[in-house]
Amino acid sequence: MDNTLSPAFCGPARLTAAVFLGLILAGTLLLMMPFSTAGPQPGWAPFLPSLFTATSAVSLTGLIVVDTGTYWTPVGQAIILALIQLGGLGIMSLASLSGLLITGRISFKARKTGAAEGRPVTSGGIKHALIFTVAFTLLTEAVVAVVVALRLMVHYGHPPARAAWEGVFHAVSAFNNAGFSTNSDNLVPFAADAWILLPLAAALISGGLGFPVWAELTRRLRLRRLGKAQAHRFSITARITLAATAFLVVAGTVFVALVEWNGFLGGMPVWQKLLNAFFAGVSPRTAGFNAVNYADAHPITLMGTDILMFIGGGSAGTAGGVKVTTVCVLLAAMAAEFLGREDTSIGHRTLPRSATRQALALTFAGVVVVTAGVGALRLFDPEFTGDQVSFEVMSAFATVGLSTGITADLSAPSQIILCLIMYLGRVGPTTLIAALAARAVSRRFRYPEERPFIG
């Protein structure tokens, strides 16, 4: 029996983990430098706040133990922004590269299936994918940055330089689903400003859809202009991601509005309640921005937000969580079992059994990490409630960044554990799926079949 991993895992998967770890260590060192911290006593910043901030930035999480706008100098904030951008481009590029390399190693039949779905792999596919990723990222961030900067300058009277910097910082943070803000209370000051919240929501949804979906949408528009729109159909990944994203946006908005209408949304005009319910329903799917105080949220709201965080966004993008495609595959497998069907199908497409196993393995691994994290934090910091700790750990694993305000008050061991969970939450899914997809196990025998009792 050959249990060795193929080069497809040894390359992109290990490269992903190594690059992220290297970025975290480099960012930690830079943030520790005297030029990165503000205050009357210049000097080297403590190791743990620097490590936590660098890990949170590279993993696109947004959890903080020190205030971004006051603790770090403009140079320190620029370092954080660079880590966010590199983390976002890294995960998008490496995840896409991993997928393309894995696709390049599968059979000719699988290649034909990919071509039928509008995802042909050509010799220049990787190059074009990476160029499109970088160009789309920078273009989206630039548009959002201009809108936010103009709003800050015209409506709030910010000087042009400060408005431009905050526009760029929030645009990059939004598209990369990082959730970092230069404001001490995040986006709470803009809770009544749709010109700030809606562009940022558009950016975080765009980044959360994932590169493969945007590549297909772009190709579809190009073919439509050429009169060939019917030549290709959307892949199952694009259809799942778009449908699930639309459903979760609506469901999240309705859920928050129903539970918190007289809660943290109370006292707002109706239009502002709807605006903040929408933003609070969208942001948990890995963005981490908050325009309301989650310390005031109802326990049911925290539980529902935990679910949204765990699901996350689209694959091969800046979103975290186990991804919407993973959850949809599991739901389809459950439906097939309930209906007595042998095959699992979505959208008139039969899913390979390996996809179901991988989705199950990824989801179970996520549950194990979250459960272990909650247990560890409850052990080291028993003064916090289970709701608070679960929310914090889920936010770290799903690389969201939302918090009930306990992050800075956690003990050093708990903060280190959160660093590990953030790293695993960002690198783990890509690495695990690459390993599962590339693992080649060859047996010359089969054991006798015996069915155990289930349930």
Percent of the chain predicted with pLDDT > 90? 52
Q: What is the pLDDT of residue 57?
A: 94
Domain assignment present for 5: no
Domain assignment present for 118: no
The type of residue at 241 is T
Q: Please, where are the H alpha helices in 343-411?
A: 353-380, 386-397
Identify the CA nearest to 49 among candidates 31, 33, 36: 31
Question: Could you tell me which residue, 214 or 162, shows the higher pLDDT?
Answer: 162
- State mean pLDDT over 313-342: 88
Is 90 exceeded by the pLDDT of residue 210? no
Of 33-47, 148-162, 350-364, the least confident: 33-47
Percent of the chain predicted with pLDDT > 70? 82
Is 70 exceeded by the pLDDT of residue 395? yes
- State mean pLDDT over 77-85: 94
Is 80 exceeded by the pLDDT of residue 5? no
Q: What is the pLDDT of residue 143?
A: 95
Domain assignment present for 68: yes
Domain assignment present for 303: yes
CA pair distance 89, 94, nearest whole angstrom: 8
Domain assignment present for 41: yes
35 and 43 Cβ atoms separated by less than 8 Å = no
Domain assignment present for 6: no
Is 90 exceeded by the pLDDT of residue 225? no
Is 80 exceeded by the pLDDT of residue 432? no
Per the structure, the complete domain to which residue 173 belongs is given by 12-106+124-224+234-437
- State mean pLDDT over 146-160: 94
Q: Please, where are the H alpha helices in 105-210?
A: 108-116, 125-154, 160-175, 194-209
Q: What is the pTM of this model?
A: 0.85
CA 261 to each of CA 123, 190, 273, 288: distance values in angstroms, whole numbers, following the listed order:
54, 19, 7, 21
The domain total for the chain is 1
Residue 228 backbone dihedrals phi, psi, to 5 degrees:
-120, 30
Dihedral sign of CA atoms 342, 344, 346, 350 in order: negative
Domain assignment present for 2: no
Is 70 exceeded by the pLDDT of residue 117? no
Domain assignment present for 210: yes
Average pLDDT along the chain: 83
Is 60 exceeded by the pLDDT of residue 441? no
Is 80 exceeded by the pLDDT of residue 417? yes
Q: What is the pLDDT of residue 228?
A: 65
